[in-house]
Amino acid sequence: MGLELYLDLLSPPCRSVYIFAKKNNIPFMFKQMEVLKGQQYSDGFGKVNVLRKVPALKDGGFTLAESPAILAYLSQKYKTLDHWFPLDMKKRARVDEYLSWQHSSIRPNGFKIFWLKVVFPLFMDQAAPEDKLQEALEALAISLKQLEEKFLQDKPFLVGNKISLADLVAVMELMQLIAIGYNIFEDIPKLAEWQSRVEKAVGKELFQEAHKVILNVQDLNNMLIDPQLKEQMKPRLLKMVA
């Protein structure tokens, strides 16, 4: 069996894996998942990732979870161009530094905003409290300032003059919010210019292909949600607004 990637392109980490594999001509079998339909709870997927999360990788008898680990594995196995995940120890450490930081800053803030704005109404049949959305947006604003001042600074990309895994992961998270109507770069032109450079480095056609689902997020309003899954998700969503 060849490489299999289990992805839901509604998810920023999944889009980063998808774009990276496509951009680097890595052959893989696309195993489409629909998390909002509960497909991650199937018995088959449980054998690939007991954590029930996407993205997930299956390479023969080897399985792997978590997008930073998957991206690093693909980069090293397929010997992609050095700028993605540099061999230079200090440059690679900068990529790892960003990937570690974003999991406690950009990722949780963006995730919460998306779930409150899009997923909460789907499963709860009502809008999320506006004050909770505002709290998440204020927390994201702090993270964006740190992204600009600590990581981007005056460089074209986060780790120098060329795109890296750090840039790809970062932009996937932020595009999620732009797609649902938040102009998060309005007062940060430096980040807007950086995002454009990342899109150009990826290639506009591939970038648009990966974002097709999220750019049509309004289509989720017509999705039929399984009643059992609704009940399963309610405690998590209520905890988010508690």
Confidence category of residue 197, pLDDT binned at 50, 70, 90: very high
Q: How many alpha carbons fall within 13 Å on the CB side of residue 203?
A: 9
The pLDDT value recorded for residue 1 is: 66
- For 58, phi and psi rounded to 5 degrees? -130, 120
Q: What are phi and psi of 30, to 5 degrees?
A: -80, 110
Q: What are the DSSP E strand ranges found in 14-167? A: 29-32, 56-59, 62-65
Write down how long the chain is.
242
Dihedral Cα 49, 50, 54, 56, nearest 10 deg: -10
What domains lie within the chain, and their CATH numbers? 3-77 (3.40.30.10), 89-241 (1.20.1050.10)
Instruction: Look at the block and give the residue holding tokens 């392109």.
Output: 9
Q: Reply yes or no on whether the pLDDT at 198 is more than 90.
A: yes
pTM score of the predicted model: 0.95
Residue with tokens 């399985």: 63
Look at residues 5, 31, 27, 1 and name the one whose alpha carbon lies nearest to residue 16.
5
Average pLDDT over residues 34-41: 90
pLDDT at 101 over 70: yes
